[in-house]
Structure 1
Amino acid sequence: MTERNWQQTWLHKATEKARKAKPYHLFENLIANILVLLISFIVAIALFKLGEDVINLLVNRAFDPLKHETFQTVFGGIMTLLIAMEFKHSILVVAKRQQNIIQVKTVILVSLLALARKFIILDIQAIEAAKIAALALALISLGAVYWLMRERDAWNMEHGRQEEG
């Protein structure tokens, strides 16, 4: 198949799909694609900023991964990028119509990543014990919910049932 034929076939399929789609699905797809573009732009800027921070730390000879502040800066930035990319991926799945809605498990996973990031950048001397306990309880609760949802999905697959959303 030539490049031109492939383009015409792809365009024809996309046009047919758009013609058959309901207006709200087109709107939802448009919004999802705009969000993917915006988040991709944010990820690119954050990656540039993280690279800039690491280079500045290296040039100033302040890059000591065993130093808590350096660790917080570098790994906090990395975790932020991972969270943004996972969030973008969940929206991309909706945009590609592999799922109708963003899955609750994905939202819980992103929340778990955000809490893990919080623990990484946490200044243990500057925060109260009650706040650490509350964060730990939130982490355990989200982990339990994620585990329960995974178990439910495994049970449903084992018994031949469809996922309920």
Structure 2
Amino acid sequence: MERKKSWLRKDLDTLRVQWDLLTFYERFEQIVTHVLSVVISIIILVSLWQLIRAVILLLVSNALNPLDHEVYQTVFGMIMTLLIAMEFKHSITRVMARRDHIVQVKTVLLVALLAIARKFIILDPAGAPAQIAALAFALVALGSVYWLMRQRDDPIDATAAAQAERDRVALAQRRQRAGAGEGEQGDN
């Protein structure tokens, strides 16, 4: 229990130091992201509850037939809506953790791709061909931009990941040396 308190105390102390270093606008940004995080969390919980309720009602009424196109559209449309909300939440928590200053364009593109994929899932197959073609064009355009951004960022991400791994190994070695030093002192 004491270990948990010290861990929590360290996190709160770190948060307090970081808060003191923030500008007025950065503090405002942090407050807004926390409020948005709570709101989106509530939306995710309500959406999850609605999904579970809908699936249970379909099971009870013996109407859950994955071959029935309307049932498939309804259930998977709800699942995709939930995934989109979760991706929004993920992007907001990245801002809260101060890994990113603003919501990243790649995340917005990913959410747009998910939204178009959801639209394809719930789209009536007898719909207008022009609408299907427009959605397909938008999907290809967004996918291309997302791919180009990933190509640009992959070398940067690889360098950052390698540095993070080196930092993690160095920290583990320091802890190991510190633990060995305490063991030697306890033996004397």
TM-score (normalizing by structure 2):
0.79
1:73 aligns with 74
d(CA) in 1 for partners of 2:18, 2:154: 33
- Structure 1 unmatched runs, 5+: 161-165
Name the SS of the counterpart of 2:19 in structure 1: helix
Pair 1:38 & 2:36 matched: no
> CA 1:96 to 1:157, structure 2 compared with 1: closer, same or farther past 3 Å?
closer
Amino acid at match of 1:138: A
- CA positional deviation for 1:5: 3.3
Bigger radius of gyration: 2
Amino acid at match of 1:22: T
1:103 aligns with 104
- Structure 2 unmatched runs, 5+: 160-188
How do 1:87-126 and structure 2 match up within 5 A?
87-125=88-126
Name the SS of the counterpart of 1:115 in structure 2: helix
- CA positional deviation for 1:122: 0.5
Pair 1:146 & 2:146 matched: yes
Name the SS of the counterpart of 1:107 in structure 2: helix
Amino acid at match of 1:102: V
d(CA) in 1 for partners of 2:124, 2:109: 24
| Structure number with higher helix proportion | 2
TM-score (normalizing by structure 1):
0.89
- CA positional deviation for 1:149: 0.9
How many residue pairs get aligned? The number is 159
Larger RCO (CA within 8 A; separation ≥ 6):
1
Taking only aligned residues, the RMSD between alpha carbons, in angstroms, comes to: 1.8
2:26 aligns with 25
Amino acid at match of 1:145: V
> CA 1:101 to 1:135, structure 2 compared with 1: closer, same or farther past 3 Å?
same
Amino acid at match of 1:26: R
> CA 1:130 to 1:94, structure 2 compared with 1: closer, same or farther past 3 Å?
same
- CA positional deviation for 1:157: 6.3
Deviations 1:9-45 (A, max 9, x none): 3332222211111111110011011101100100000
Say which is worse superposed, 128-137 or 145-154, in terms of deviation: 145-154
Name the SS of the counterpart of 2:116 in structure 1: helix
- CA positional deviation for 1:79: 0.6
Deviations 1:47-79 (A, max 9, x none): 000100001101111110110011001111111
2:3 aligns with 2
